[in-house]
Amino acid sequence: MTKPAPEQDFKSIEDVVRDRPNSASLAEIAAALDAALPRRTLQYRLKHLVDAGRLVREGKGRWAKYRLPQVFEAGVIIAARAGMEAHGEFVVPLSKEGAEIRAYVRQPLAARNPAGYNRDFLNSYRPNESAWLSEEERAHLQEVGRRNKAEQAAGTYARQILNRLLIDLSWNSSRLEGNTYTLLDTRRLIAFGEEAEGHDRLEAQMILNHKDAIEFLTGAAEEIGFNRHTILNLHGMLANNLLTDERAPGRLRHIPVGIEESVYHPLEVPQLIEENFDQLLASANAIRDPFEQAFFVMVQLPYLQPFDDVNKRVSRLAANIPLIKSNLSPLSFVEVPQTTYTEAMLGIYELNKIDLLKDVFIWAYERSAARYQAVRQSLGEPDPFRLKHRDGLREAVGDTVRRALDRKAAFAQLAAWAAENIEPAEREQFRETAENELLGLHEGNFARHRITPAEFEAWRQVWRGPGGRHP
């Protein structure tokens, strides 16, 4: 029989976690213990503490961190120690209903009621009749999110701030999954392809997958929507090279899944998953208000868990589809605390209550909109000539790159394209603008011309070679 671990060992682990400002990883706990423990022994003891409700685990696998649970006295939450404020994280103001949800999901697992998928949660929603965001809330979000009163092609605003959006949304969405890259690490990875030292390569893959998915949404803004093509391909990009089953990216789930640190049990029957997925998309597509659409998919996609994994990431990027199409400020989850977001999702899973996630959604959108207003002001007003010839510039530059032409041949190709497609009065300005676009291409902006990574790399090799060296 295995000898039980001394209670003092468990208390020593709790003391280490209590002294951390927010939460502690397995490696941090191991380093802080007075008596060294084998890694497997420490893993076993941490699992025992989690199962007993004495610790709470956040995140998965190597990114898992541990914190003390909340203590409940007379119905009032008392933080076990420190909290987000001490760790420098932002605190989302909560409604009374949101605070009640948070109080419930902070209880140990044993104190929460097991819950299965409730189809009525989806069936009871009637697009444009039901409203999870009030009329006042939608009007407020429209006011803070609308940055240009003039009618523009879908995706114009997102493309204007694309370089910043790629970094912000890739980093914040990955951070909410426990990714430990810093903002600077993310910027270097996206701009220069430099992986941060000391990090798992899966973290770089996660961020680069976000980059590809965001470029897909902004580059095809007029074609995307709440349909199978968009959502399945969005998952395919976000899950690329991250799942054990290589066929799983972009495919609906055929296997049972569980939710860590939750008593929620998602659907297991593939036919029912597919039926609910199609109904979910039909409902989302029918909603007229872009903010109600965004919030609806942030709730229902993760709740259904239609994919083997990466469901929340899909929901966060899918929430941006109506915002991108309507030229509203995107939602990049700037400064959203991971713990609060996780608790909000637990409220959806276990209670089918939206209030805590709505608190997060509105707060996060206000901060994102303010951020991109500042970015937009720093960029100045869009060039009307480039706006007018947006499609032509994309086609001319994209075609030139796909041909992998050196500098001399490329400029000749652009001149020939302008002569054939642009009226004489604007031909010279178009040629000059197209040349500047070509000269300014780099790893962080080529997707706006519908250029694939392979096409860009083939062109860059020629461009940097003899006769085509980059300035």
Confidence category of residue 248, pLDDT binned at 50, 70, 90 = very high
Mean pLDDT, residues 302-308? 98
Using alpha carbons only, what angle is made at residue 340 by residues 335 and 344, rounded to the nearest 5 degrees? 125
Q: Token pair 């994994």 is at which residue?
A: 309
Per-residue pLDDT tens over the stretch 187-240: 999 988 889 998 999 999 999 999 999 999 999 888 999 999 999 999 999 999
What pLDDT, on a 0 to 100 scale, did the predictor assign at position 357?
98
Largest CA distance in the chain: 90
Taking Cα atoms as reference points, which of 425, 400, 394 lies closest to residue 153? 394
CATH architecture for segment(s) 96-379: Orthogonal Bundle (1.10)
Between 102-106, 448-452, 466-470, the lowest mean confidence (pLDDT) is in 466-470
Per-residue pLDDT tens over the stretch 395-415: 999 999 999 888 888 888 898
Confidence category of residue 453, pLDDT binned at 50, 70, 90 = confident
What pLDDT, on a 0 to 100 scale, did the predictor assign at position 63?
76
Contact, 198 vs 427, CB < 8 A?
A: no
What pLDDT, on a 0 to 100 scale, did the predictor assign at position 87?
41
Q: Where are the alpha helices (DSSP H) in 93-239?
A: 96-105, 120-123, 135-145, 156-160, 162-175, 183-192, 201-219, 228-238
Per-residue pLDDT tens over the stretch 137-150: 999 999 989 865 55
What pLDDT, on a 0 to 100 scale, did the predictor assign at position 2?
41
What pLDDT, on a 0 to 100 scale, did the predictor assign at position 86?
35
Confidence category of residue 111, pLDDT binned at 50, 70, 90 = very high
What pLDDT, on a 0 to 100 scale, did the predictor assign at position 466?
54
In this structure, the dihedral spanned by the alpha carbons of residues 293, 294, 299 and 303, taken in order and rounded to 10 degrees, is 90
Q: Token pair 């041949």 is at which residue?
A: 409
Residue 79 has pLDDT above 50, yes or no: no
The CA distance from 82 to 99, in Å, is 18
Q: Where are the alpha helices (DSSP H) in 262-406?
A: 270-286, 290-304, 311-318, 321-325, 338-351, 355-379, 384-388, 390-402
What pLDDT, on a 0 to 100 scale, did the predictor assign at position 450?
86
Taking Cα atoms as reference points, which of 457, 393, 353 lies closest to residue 159? 393
Residue 105 has pLDDT above 70, yes or no: yes
- For the chain, what is the mean pLDDT? 86
Contact, 133 vs 291, CB < 8 A?
A: yes
What pLDDT, on a 0 to 100 scale, did the predictor assign at position 4?
46
What pLDDT, on a 0 to 100 scale, did the predictor assign at position 80?
35
Mean pLDDT, residues 414-429? 89
Higher pLDDT, 322 or 458: 322
The upper half-sphere exposure of residue 376, i.e. CA atoms within 13 Å in the direction of its Cβ, equals 21
Please enumerate, as own/partner, the contacts of 149-155 that have beta carbons within 8 Å and a separation of 24 or more.
152/327, 152/387, 153/221, 153/222, 153/390, 154/221, 154/222, 154/324, 154/325, 154/326, 154/327, 155/218, 155/219, 155/221, 155/222, 155/324, 155/325, 155/327
Per-residue pLDDT tens over the stretch 362-400: 999 999 998 887 765 555 555 677 778 888 888 999 999
What pLDDT, on a 0 to 100 scale, did the predictor assign at position 215?
94
Residue range 7-69, CATH number: 1.10.10.10
Confidence category of residue 38, pLDDT binned at 50, 70, 90 = confident
- Hey, what are 11's tokens? 């208390």
Per-residue pLDDT tens over the stretch 122-171: 999 999 999 999 999 999 999 989 865 556 777 787 788 888 899 999 99
Percent of the chain with pLDDT over 70: 89
CA 424 from chain centre, in angstroms, equals 45
What pLDDT, on a 0 to 100 scale, did the predictor assign at position 89?
59
